[in-house]
């Protein structure tokens, strides 16, 4: 790990889990970091060279970087951003009762930053590290800050218990925004870590965080489901899943990971139905596979066939090769969903997203 060529002055807003780890790690990369929190306990902890909570490796980083003057803390936002080039916003976005994300902390802190911008003489990049729904940076942050600060999204993927390691050896660094210079500036913070940040649009960056977490949840639920099924058949579920993961070409890989069409073909529907049927006989929920099965069947029956009946003349001329037309009227259109199926129509993909994927995810969420 090298010291960055151009250390930045960084304000980290919120010294909670994400903020404190971010502040300590960035200061250890050579940046000058001021952490700010309205919670005096957290600020005092950092000022005393102590981590405000336990996380392996954090206390040492806080102690060492406070000692050399690269990491400071304050309760004053004005003081923290006075000299900052970049403000990394790491405030909480907790769940509301209905599951929606509460943006109260974010809205408040952004309005406080907005109130401080006019007295600044140098430009500020505001990078949102808090997890927010796509569109939030535009609707909440840019609306409040206007053109007085550049806004980027820089979601965090750390895991509690391995947060310092995840920061220092990141699996993914994402920076999203429309202001190229601001995006590059934030991406450069991570240069010493030897990763190539993914530079994407603002909304894409926000969405990637949700995609990652939904995928993790899906994997856990799926592994548990296969584990339960295996156990009930006196098969070692760990051996099954370990072997499944050996296939990095089709299984743990980008294969089948492109939004597009529903699955079909001769094997997938048949084998999934058999799995769901046998799981049912064993009184197992099969909460991952069952909704996948139902979603695909329902797409054909309820959505796509009626849709195609109306739209066929348009579809035939625009999207579909003529030799495929008879298959649409066959008993079940027969093709395997492949990675390059997106050409088969954005409208169909939207229908699938609404009907299939969301049903699957809802079923999985309720299974926790």
Ligand X SMILES: NC(=O)c1ccc[n+]([C@@H]2O[C@H](COP(=O)([O-])OP(=O)(O)OC[C@H]3O[C@@H](n4cnc5c(N)ncnc54)[C@H](O)[C@@H]3O)[C@@H](O)[C@H]2O)c1
Chain residues that interact with ligand X, rule: CB under 6 A: 13-19, 36-39, 42, 77, 90-93, 105, 108-109, 130-131, 156, 158, 160
Q: Find the shortest distance in angstroms from Cβ 156 to ligand X.
A: 4
Selected catalytic residue, list 20, 25, 212, 267: 267
Q: Find the shortest distance in angstroms from Cβ 345 to ligand X.
A: 35
SS (H, E, C) the chain: CCCCCCCCEEEEECCCHHHHHHHHHHHHCCCEEEEECCCHHHHHHHHCCCCCCCCCCHHHHHHHHHHCCCEEEECCHHHHHHCCCEEEECCCCCECCCCCECCHHHHHHHHHHHHHHCCCCCCCEEEECCCCCCCHHHHHHHHHHCCCCEEEECCCCCCCCCHHHHHHCCCCCEEECCCHHHHHHHHHHCHHHCCCCEEECHHHHHHHHHHHHHHHHHHHHHHHHHHHHHHHCCCCHHHHHHHHHHCCCCCCCCCCCCCCCCCCCCCHHHHHHHHHHHHHHCCCCCCCHHHHHHHHHHHHHHHHHHHHHHHHHHHHHHCCCHHHHHHHHCCCCCCCCCCCHHHHCHHHHHHHHHHHHHHHHHHHHHHC
* Residue closer to ligand X, measured from CB, 129 or 344: 129
* Residue closer to ligand X, measured from CB, 53 or 307: 53
* Residue closer to ligand X, measured from CB, 90 or 348: 90
* Residue closer to ligand X, measured from CB, 173 or 226: 173
Closest-by-Cβ residue to ligand X is 16
Q: Is 245 a catalytic residue?
A: no
Q: Find the shortest distance in angstroms from Cβ 74 to ligand X.
A: 10
Q: Find the shortest distance in angstroms from Cβ 14 to ligand X.
A: 3
Catalytic residues: 267
């Amino acid at each position: 790990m090298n010291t960055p060529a151009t250390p930045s002055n960084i304000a980290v807003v919120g010294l909670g889990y994400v903020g404190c780890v971010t502040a300590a790690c960035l200061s250890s990369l050579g940046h000058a970091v001021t952490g700010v929190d309205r919670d005096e306990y957290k600020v005092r902890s950092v000022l005393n060279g102590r981590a405000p909570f336990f996380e392996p490796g954090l206390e040492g980083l806080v102690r060492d970087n406070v000692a050399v003057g690269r990491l400071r803390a304050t309760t004053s936002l004005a003081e923290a951003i006075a000299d900052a080039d970049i403000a990394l916003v790491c405030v909480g976005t907790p769940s509301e009762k209905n599951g929606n994300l509460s943006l109260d902390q974010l809205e408040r802190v952004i309005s406080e930053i907005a109130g401080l911008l006019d007295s600044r003489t140098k430009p500020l990049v505001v990078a949102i590290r808090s997890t927010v729904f796509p569109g939030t940076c535009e609707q909440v942050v840019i609306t409040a800050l206007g053109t007085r600060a550049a806004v980027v999204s820089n979601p965090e993927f750390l895991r509690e218990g391995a947060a310092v390691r995840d920061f220092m050896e990141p699996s993914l660094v994402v920076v999203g925004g429309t202001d190229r210079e601001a995006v590059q500036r934030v991406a450069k913070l991570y240069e010493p870590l030897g990763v190539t940040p993914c530079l994407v649009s603002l909304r894409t960056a926000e969405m990637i965080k949700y995609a990652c977490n939904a995928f993790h949840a899906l994997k856990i639920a799926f592994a548990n489901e296969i584990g339960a099924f295996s156990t009930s058949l006196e098969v070692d579920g760990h051996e099954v899943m370990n072997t499944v993961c050996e296939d990095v070409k089709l299984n743990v890989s980008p294969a089948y990971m492109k939004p597009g069409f529903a699955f079909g073909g001769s094997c997938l529907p048949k084998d999934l139905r058999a799995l769901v049927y046998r799981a049912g006989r064993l009184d197992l929920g099969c909460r991952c596979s069952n909704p996948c099965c139902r979603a695909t069947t329902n797409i054909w029956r309820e959505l796509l066939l009626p849709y195609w009946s109306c739209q066929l003349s348009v579809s035939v001329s625009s999207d579909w090769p003529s030799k495929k037309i008879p298959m649409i009227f066959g008993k079940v259109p027969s093709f395997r969903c492949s990675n390059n199926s997106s050409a088969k129509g954005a409208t169909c993909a939207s229908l699938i997203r609404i009907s299939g994927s969301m049903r699957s995810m809802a079923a999985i969420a309720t299974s926790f």
